[in-house]
Amino acid sequence: MTDNSDQTTHFGYQTVNKEEKVEKVAEVFHSVAAKYDLMNDLMSMGIHRVWKRHTIACSGARSGNKILDLAGGTGDLTAKFSKIVGSEGQVVLADINESMLKVGRAKLHDMGIVGNVECVQANAEALPFADNTFDVITIAFGLRNVTDKDAALRSMYRVLKPGGRLLVLEFSKPTTEALTKIYDWYSFNLLPNMGKVITNDAESYQYLAESIRMHPDQETLKGMMEEAGFEETSYQNLTGGIVALHKGYKF
């Protein structure tokens, strides 16, 4: 009997071939790219901006740094980092999805942010950068969509400079049963309906809700980061564990 476990993975609650997941995730983000920012504000009631500001505050970013905003999508973190690193620094906005990157590039251009930002289409599992390139790497709400998360964490470790830090902002496991029940009801009832009304795409938001449930919990992700080589790993629960910010260093 052939073991196909290493050829398959999860796409939400479905079990699919790894190549098929890459295509399906791409379809989701091609579909939602144009209204991604609007839906983020509606889905989180604007709280995603607070989570992202907190991530930037914890990054230790400073003038002259080189920063990788991985799975950076429409460029929320890139815009803030660009101001911090200044003309001597650089921010690389990287995303695997061409549609998301196109929206992000246009938004940054409209904001007048062009001089110290580079947009790169890249797969997190095999980053196209030299070893020891970045002072800080952030990945916000992107890791759960990566097919091989372990490979992605190893790739991030490789391109991070010694002394650099990784910050992973991602949906996680609520800390109480009551909050879990409320969150589940919201995710599987309101969220797909919002997607249907705003983007005419309920299925993509059904997947996003399912992908959150399939993502490793706080302790599991912490262990995965340590396995990839990161040290002094820690996490902070935000909004009752609906979101967690993981941090790790390369020494």
Rounded Cα distance, 240 and 244, in Å: 9
Residue 79 in marked binding region = no
Strands 8-11 and 14-17: antiparallel
Rounded Cα distance, 198 and 156, in Å: 34
Residue 74 in marked binding region = yes
* Torsion sign over Cα 38, 43, 48, 50: positive
Which residues fall in the annotated binding site?
74, 95, 123-124
Which residues fall in the annotated binding site for S-adenosyl-L-methionine?
74, 95, 123-124
